[in-house]
Structure formats: structure tokens, C-alpha cells
Amino acid sequence: MSVFFFVIMIVALVTFGKVVSKLVDARSAPPALEPGRETEIESLREQVALLAGEVDRLTEEQRFMTRLLETDVPRQQRRPDSRLGGSN
């Protein structure tokens, strides 16, 4: 192996290392946000939090209804609901 080939390999490796380093730095940097986007992102976060709360409430209602329906109460012992037009 000649000295010329060795020098070319070192220069190629150093250049390749710099290119890879720049690519890694470019990928790890967060993208710049446009002005005013922070308020939109905060608004979206609030909406997601509200939706999560609503989903939790609906899930709890569903569990309650499931437990209510799973109770073993004979049909004759149930009182009709007056809101459903049952006779009093």
C-alpha cells in the first residue's frame, strides 16, 4: 500500500465523517415553528385535554351501565321508569 493511497483514504474518511456529523445534527434539531404557532399548539393541547376528560367520563358511565345491566334483578321486581312512558 502506497503513501498516496493512505493519504487519500484518510481524506475520504474525514470528509465522510463531517458529512455524517452534519446529517446527524440536522436530524436531531427540532424544526423551527412559524410565529404564532405556539398559541395554536397550546389551544390544541387544551382541546385534547378536554376530550380526554370527556372520554374518561363516558368510560365511567359505560362501566356503571354495564354493572347495572349485569346485576341479577328479576324483571318483575324492576320498577318502570316514568320517563319512558310507563304507567305509575
34-69 b/e (C-beta count within 10 Å ≥ 16 → b):
eeeeeeeeeeeeeeeeeeeeeeeeeeeeeeeeeeee
Q: pLDDT digit string (tens) for 28-48?
A: 767 677 777 888 889 999 999
The pTM assigned to this predicted structure is 0.44
Instruction: State the pLDDT at residue 3.
Output: 80
